[in-house]
Amino acid sequence: MKKCLLFLMIFTFLPMVSFAEEKGGNEVHLYALNIGKADCMILSYQDQHYLIDTGYEHTYPALETALNALKINSLQGVFLTHCHKDHEGGLMPLVKSNIEIDAIYAAEIYHDVKDKKHPAVLAAKERDMEVSFLKTGDVLPVGSDASLTVLGPVRKDMENENNNSLVMRFSSPHGSVLFAGDMKAEEEYDLLTEKLLSQTDVLKCGHHGDSEASSAAFLQAVRPAHALILTSTFEENDTPAPSTLKRLKSINAKVYVSQDAGDALHVEMQNGRITVSDMTWPSVPEAITGLRCHISTADDAFMLANLSDKDITLSGCTLYSSKGEDSFPLPDIRIPAGKTISIGSKSTNGSVAYTIDKKNVWHDKKRDIAMLYDAWGRLLCQADNGLTEE
């Protein structure tokens, strides 16, 4: 109950703006995509565009939709903060697209991945490019008067790749942003010890608002006026952690969580004035509403109920299993108003509207989450199998 009340307090004043209002000028624009417990952000300034992380492979359509909506066909830089699937999964689909990419960046410190298998290296090879590996102190110019400065990692963490996250500070005359990747308390301590931290206007919180990130000492050093948390409580039920929210509240930071936005959280900075709003792309059809779903592990089936008063067609939709990490493109299945249909597998007995060409789609021993996405990468409904990770 306390957590719900805190969310209500945080989001009561989150404005929605039209797409036309956010365009143009010399402003800084940052778009943090609502793609679940994953990071993917577009930073735009003076007609230069940078991508910080790419989300999961199965959430790439949402990134593609965002780039199309923003009319971005070239990226001056793509940054991979670290080698986890919820940050690097969309990188390979991106390099296989028609988007022009000037440079691919990653931290020179990383662990538990072979050099030739590093996701940034594999992606760069697809484009006949070389990865620009970054270290503490590197500075990249952005436009005529802004920059991205690499703060960390300063040392290799041999146990937790999250603490090898590329941490960067964007500085401009209009405002500053600290991108913390999945940095946890150990890497925060390193940056504090090296005196690399300073006050920032906007913080992209580390590790999806986990309790072991955004420590009190770290927040006292950076004291952001605005904090972004990119997560899905349904996917990771201990994020954002109540303790993290409490620490952010103690420094009077305004907190915004991506799962409560439409397509993205939009940060605009101009001459020291910073606004955070709810962005919905106007260039795509209205999302399907009225769907509820359920997993039956006994039947290895996925049930979809249409609670609306209109028929729904699943044109271009994709069904995803989190435990199996499988994506299943669906045909144009029609669900009559007020009716329920089942999508089965080769293991399913009984009548189904569609059969996935695989046995045992849904895990029956550990938690598995079903996510139904439309053709534009928007989540239409989700359900788990009622199990826990233990």
pLDDT of 78 higher than 70: yes
Mean pLDDT value across residues 328-357:
97
Query: For the domain 2-279, what is the CATH code?
Result: 3.60.15.10
pLDDT of 9 higher than 70: no
Q: Which pLDDT value is given to residue 7?
A: 43
Asked whether 383 and 293 are in contact (CB, 8 A), the reply is: yes
Residue 365 backbone phi and psi in degrees, to 5: -120, -30
**pLDDT classification of 20: cutoffs 50, 70, 90:** very low
Residue 240 preceded by cis peptide, ω within 30: yes
> CA–CA separation, 180 vs 378, rounded Å?
25
With vertex at residue 342, the alpha carbon angle to CA 385 and CA 61, rounded to the nearest 5 degrees, is: 75
Domain 291-384, CATH class in plain words = mainly beta
Please name every residue paired with 75 in a beta bridge, in sequence order, or none if there are none.
101
Return the amino acid letter for 31: Y
pLDDT, tens digit, for every residue of 122-161? 999 999 999 999 999 999 999 999 999 999 999 999 999 9
**What is the pTM for the complete model shown?**
0.94
**pLDDT classification of 26: cutoffs 50, 70, 90:** confident
**Sole residue written with tokens 């110019």:** 141
Please name every residue paired with 131 in a beta bridge, in sequence order, or none if there are none.
104
With vertex at residue 199, the alpha carbon angle to CA 195 and CA 203, rounded to the nearest 5 degrees, is: 105
Q: Does 291-384 match 2-279 at the fold level?
A: no
270-276: long-range contacts, CB 8 A cutoff, minimum separation 24: 270/25, 270/26, 270/27, 270/28, 270/174, 271/173, 271/174, 272/174, 272/175, 274/175, 274/201, 274/202, 274/225, 274/226, 275/15, 276/14, 276/226, 276/228
SS3 162: helix
Residue 271 backbone phi and psi in degrees, to 5: 50, 40
Percent of the chain residues past pLDDT 70, beyond the cut: 93
Asked whether 75 and 49 are in contact (CB, 8 A), the reply is: yes
Burial class (CB in 10 A: 0-12, 13-18, 19+), 20: exposed
Asked whether 47 and 23 are in contact (CB, 8 A), the reply is: no
Q: What residue segments make up the domains of the chain, in order of their start?
A: 2-279, 291-384
pLDDT, tens digit, for every residue of 257-300? 999 999 999 999 999 999 999 999 999 999 999 999 999 999 99
Q: Give the relative orientation of helices 2-11 and 242-250 as an angle to the nearest 10 degrees.
A: 50
pLDDT of 309 higher than 80: yes
